[in-house]
Amino acid sequence: MTVYGKRLENLRSRMASANIDAVLVTKRVNYMYLSGFTGTAAILFISRERAALLTDFRYVEQAAMQAPDYETVRYVTDQYGEINRLVESEGIKRLAFEDCHLSYKQYTQYSEKLKVDEFVPLGGMIEELRSVKDETEISLIRKAVDIADEAFSHILGVIRPGITELDIADELERHMKRLGAEGPSFETIVASGKRASMPHGVASEKKIEYGDVVTLDFGAVYKGYCSDITRTVFVGKPGEELEKIYRIVLEANRRGLEAVRNGILAKEADSAAREFIKEAGYGDNFGHGLGHGVGLEIHEDPTLSFRGDIVLKDGMVVTVEPGIYVADLGGVRIEDVAVVNGDNALVLTKSPKEMIIL
């Protein structure tokens, strides 16, 4: 059985438990996950016995090559007619849709035009399957992380007074592509000096100055899978408070990684780092969650935050990224990607975390 065949089997098992006859998959990362098809126009029809990929003329040949576990069904303008033919041939009564993805307009069109007894929400069934990565996925994420690690090593030789944050971001993204990345996994963050107090301070025209703290948050996409790394470096020796903050965040990162293990609630991992930062006097300066899942999307389940009620399971891939941000001073964040692996998380990120002064 292929990787995609196993994923189909897992989905069908859940469909049976939920008394669902068939599902329509319209979200791109979800149909990529279930079929291997990477085009931008597709609908998967998955019943207990049948798997079809509906697409238009542009992607028929690509779909047949990339998704051999599916029959390719071409539609011209009316995908509803093709879906109805599948519904009728399979005797579908209860058809599920991706309620977290479909717009209200799309939902209205589907519910009015499809000939089923019940058109029901699927919820996060596919996302829940995606949250636990198989070995194929972990190997692709590892490669995306390796690319980001190499890019960080490269950029250390580029950062200097006078260069702009945008220059640094551009060079990071170009170098990741040279290393095989399809592109960045999100808009690259380069925040220097006082701007480093903004957790999502995307690169600006600000020039690096001697004495600046520089936070770099970036990632690569490799064969559809994302990486995410943050490192904070200093151009010249940091001031006393920023040096103190760096050491607190570094220890919080260590504690967070140590807490990531099979069977605990996501919020317990968050608490391990958050309580340490709070005890150090900076609780109000760490306002975001400890981390998030990474895979075909840069942010996916599970979310490591004080609200995180998902139980961590082996194979989940998460970030651990504590930070402290102080207005008019700057900030520090240190982020790694790790795989839940029994009692000891497998940390994929290899870039050094001890303080770097350029």
Residue at a domain's end among 103, 130, 157: 130
Domain check: are 198 and 125 in the same one?
Answer: no
pTM of the full structure: 0.95
281 Rama sector, left if φ>0, alpha if ψ -120 to 50, beta otherwise:
left
Domain check: are 155 and 296 in the same one?
Answer: yes
Residue 77 lies in a domain: yes
- Is the model's pLDDT at 287 over the cut of 90? yes
- Written as six digits, the tokens of 19 are 């008394």
Domain check: are 270 and 121 in the same one?
Answer: no
Domain check: are 39 and 104 in the same one?
Answer: yes
What gap in Å lies between CA 205 and CA 306, rounded to an integer?
35
Range of the domain at 181: 135-347
Average pLDDT in the 32-55 region? 97
- Is the model's pLDDT at 356 over the cut of 90? yes
What three-state secondary structure class fits 345?
A: coil
Average pLDDT in the 66-81 region? 94
Confidence of residue 304 (pLDDT cuts 50, 70, 90): very high
Q: How many domains does the chain have?
A: 2
According to DSSP, residue 211 is labeled T
Domain check: are 146 and 39 in the same one?
Answer: no
pLDDT tens digits for 136-177?
Answer: 999 999 999 999 999 999 999 999 999 999 999 999 999 999
Domain check: are 195 and 71 in the same one?
Answer: no
Residue 352 lies in a domain: no
pLDDT tens digits for 319-349?
Answer: 999 999 999 999 999 999 999 999 999 999 9
CATH of residue 311: 3.90.230.10
Average pLDDT in the 23-46 region? 97
Domain check: are 320 and 234 in the same one?
Answer: yes
- Is the model's pLDDT at 1 over the cut of 90? no
Average pLDDT in the 103-111 region? 94
Residue 293 lies in a domain: yes
Residue 353 lies in a domain: no
Domain check: are 301 and 214 in the same one?
Answer: yes
- Is the model's pLDDT at 78 over the cut of 90? no
Q: What are phi and psi of 135, to 5 degrees?
A: -60, -35
